Amino acid sequence: MAGILIASALESDAGGFRAGDILVIAESALATAEERVTCLDCVEPDEESVELAERYEMDPRLVQVVREESDEIVGGIPGFLLSMTNGTLLPNAGVDGSNAPPGCVVPLPRDPDASAKRIRKEILRLCGVKVGVIVADSRTHAMRSGCSGVGLERWASAFLSQKGLDRANWPEEFQKRIGEMPKGIRFL
């Protein structure tokens, strides 16, 4: 995937990646590249999936995929199961068919942290520059128009919640690896 991203960046007005760039990758594109597309015709729903599908007016095959991607199903409304997935409350465990071929759905990437790290390392290897990589998903909000982006990997927020925004409180080794913050990036 990094090769495709690099080629796209080179062909864009940006002319490639520069140190300090932040690359935001849509989770559906990443999951598709990681071969997470699931053809519903290949899914055999079990009895519990059939029961939930009847209760929530859903395709039992989709329910089966959602259950397999969920840590726990906590409820639902017609057309959607409400699930806990990797510590996040999500409709249908993030499984989505809007960017998939007909009759298919795309679950979230299995490990967005590992994917972001792998892409970051590959860009460094191929381009010689350190970039940030964010795997993002969109979220809608009840009674509001539009949507917002949500980063799926949590290492940065976990680090900042433990160490704070003051670089003086960050471990020396971390400060060395990060280097200076790019101009224009600051914590308020």
Pairing mode, strands 88-91 and 80-85: antiparallel
Q: State pTM to two decimals.
A: 0.69
**80-123 residue pLDDT tens:** 999 988 888 888 999 989 888 999 999 999 888 899 899 999 99
**Mean pLDDT calculated for residue range 58-82:** 95
Tokens at 183, concatenated: 């101009």
CA atoms within 13 A on the CB side of 43: 22
3-class DSSP assignment, residue 162: helix
- 41-50, 104-113, 178-187: range with lowest mean pLDDT: 178-187
